[in-house]
Amino acid sequence: MAKLPIGAHVGTDDPIGDAQSLGIEHIQVFLADPQSWKGSIFPHADGADGLKKAAEQANIGIYVHARYIINVATTNNKVRIPSRKLLQADVDAAAAVGAKAVIVHGGHVTDGDDPQAGVDNWVKALAQLDMKVPVYIENTAGGKNSMARRLESISRLWDAVGDTGVGFCLDTCHAHAGGIDMGALADTILSVTGRIDLVHCNNSRDTFDSGADRHANLGSGEIELANIINCLKTAKAPIVLETPSEGVAEDIAILRAAL
C-alpha cells in the first residue's frame, strides 16, 4: 500500500521544531485557546505568515483543530450563533497559515430537543460558512444527544451534509468509546459517509461504549492494536496522533513498522 502520511497534535511553543524532531509529515495545532471565545493566536514570532513560511520551508503540513467550545448544532441561540462565528474565525486563521483542513467536533443538542434540529442547524451553518480550507466533522465519544457519536446519528447528519463538500475525520478512541464496533471500523464509516479524510489515531483508556474521551498511547489502552492498524489501512487517509506526548515517539515507531 502507498505510504500513509503520519503526524501528531503538538503544542504551540515550537510546532515546526516538534514536527522535525519527531520526523513527521504534518502537525495538528490549535490556533486559539480551545476553551476560549477570544481571537486567534498564531504560534510564531512573525504571526500567521511566519508560521506558514516556516511550515513550507520545512515541508510540514498543518491541520487545525477548531475550538472545543464550538457547537453549531445546539438550539441555544447564545451558543449556536457565536459558534458559527468562531468556526469561521478558525477557518480564516487556518487559511492564513496555509492549513490543509480544519477539524471540528459534531456537537450536540440538549435533552428534549429533536436531533433533527441539530442536523438542520449544521446545514444552515455550512451554508453560510466561507470554507476557505476544507472542514472535517469529527465523530465524538460521548453524549446521548450527540450529532456524531452513534452510527445512526452520523448517518442522519451525513444524509443532510454529505453533498456540501464537508469532510469526515474518524477518531478511533471516540469510535470505541462511542460504541461503534472496532473490527471493521473504517469499512463501517465508509459505508455511511463515503469518505474518511483524516484519522485521529488514538487508543482509549476506557472500555467499549463508555462515552469517555480519554486517549491512550497505541501500545496501551482498551482497543486492540490490530483493529487500529486495520482501520488505518482501510481508511487510506492521513493520520494524526493525539496520544499522550510522552509516548508519541513510540506510537510513531509502531505505525511506521505496521504501515
Strand locations in the chain (E):
6-9, 26-29, 61-65, 101-105, 135-138, 167-171, 198-201, 203-204, 215-216, 239-241
pLDDT at residue 5, as a whole number: 98
Q: Which residue has the cell 491512550?
A: 216
Within a domain: residue 76? yes
pLDDT value at residue 2? 67
Q: What is the pLDDT of residue 30?
A: 98
Domains: count for the chain: 1
Q: How many CA atoms lie within 13 A of 190 on its CB side?
A: 15
pLDDT at 128 (0 to 100) = 97
**Is 123 a domain residue?**
yes
Q: Residue 88 maps to which CATH number?
A: 3.20.20.150
In a domain? residue 46:
yes
Structural domain of residue 182, as residue ranges? Answer: 6-258
Does residue 229 lie in a domain region?
Answer: yes
State if pTM tops 0.85: yes
Q: Specify if 178 maps to a domain.
A: yes
The pairs formed by 245-251 with CB atoms below 8 angstroms and a separation of 24 or more are 245/11, 247/217, 247/218, 247/219, 247/220, 248/8, 248/22, 248/217, 249/22, 250/217, 250/218, 250/219, 251/8, 251/201, 251/217, 251/218, 251/219
pLDDT value, residue 73: 98
- 1 is a domain residue: no
- Amino acid letter, residue 165: G
pLDDT tens track for 38-86: 999 999 999 999 999 999 999 999 999 999 999 999 999 999 999 999 9
List of the chain residues with pLDDT < 50? none
